[in-house]
Amino acid sequence: MLTLAMDKKFIPKITVFHCINAFSETSWSSVGGNDVEIKFIKLPCSSMVKDVFLLRAFEAGADAVAVLVCPEGQCRYVEGNIRAKKRVAWVQNLMDDIGIDGRRLSLSNIAAGDTAAAIQIIDGALENLAELGPNPAS
C-alpha cells in the first residue's frame, strides 16, 4: 500500500479535491507516511471544483490532482458530480495542450466512508506518477 518505486528525492505532491459528502479527511489518518504529500481541499459539492482551481493546484506544485465525487445518481445536489466529471475531462484535455499530461488529473466516484477506495485512488495516482514523474511546470 502506498509504495513508490522511483527516485527517492521525488516526494510526490497530490492535491485531493473532495465533496464533503463523498469523503472525509478525518478518516484518512496517517495513511501515506512520508512517501507522499497529500493536501485535501474539501468542497460542499464536487461541482464547486472550478477548472481554474484544478490548474492552480498544478501551479502551486501538485504533481497530481485527484477529485473525489459521490457515486453517480447519489449527488445531494442531483448533478454536481456529473458537472465535475465534465469539467475534469475538459481540464485533462487542456493539460494535454499545455504539455503536462492530463493523466495527472483524475476523477473518481467514491461512496461515503469508503477509505479503502480512497487509498486505492491515491495508489493509482502514485502509480501514474511513477511513470509521469514530477510536474514539469512546478
Partner 1 sequence: MIVAEQKPLSEIKEIVAPYKKILILGCGTCVKTCFAGGEDEVAVLASALRLACKKDGKEIEIEELTIERQCEDEFIRESAPAVSRNQGVLSLACGAGVQALARRFAKTPVLPGVNTTFIGVLERQGIFTEECSGCGTCRLDIFGGICPVTRCAKKLLNGPCGGSQNGKCEINPETDCAWQLIIDRLKALGQTDNLRRYIPPKNWRTSLSGGPRKLVREDHII
By CB under 8 A, which span of 20-28, 29-37, 54-62, 63-71 interacts with partner 1?
A: 54-62
Residues facing 108 on adjacent strands: 68
138 binds partner 1 (CB under 8 A): yes
| Closer residue to partner 1 (CB): 89 or 137 | 137
Q: Which stretch binds partner 1 (CB under 8 A): 22-30, 33-41, 47-55, 70-78?
A: 47-55
User: 94-101 long-range CB contacts below 8 Å, 24 or more apart?
Assistant: 94/51, 94/55, 95/55, 95/58, 98/137, 99/136, 100/58, 100/135, 100/136, 100/137, 101/132
Q: What one-character DSSP code corresponds to residue 64?
A: E
Among 2, 52, 89, 111, binds partner 1 (CB under 8 A): 52
Q: If binding is defined by CB under 8 A, does position 51 make contact with partner 1?
A: yes
Nearer to partner 1, 71 or 134 (CB): 134
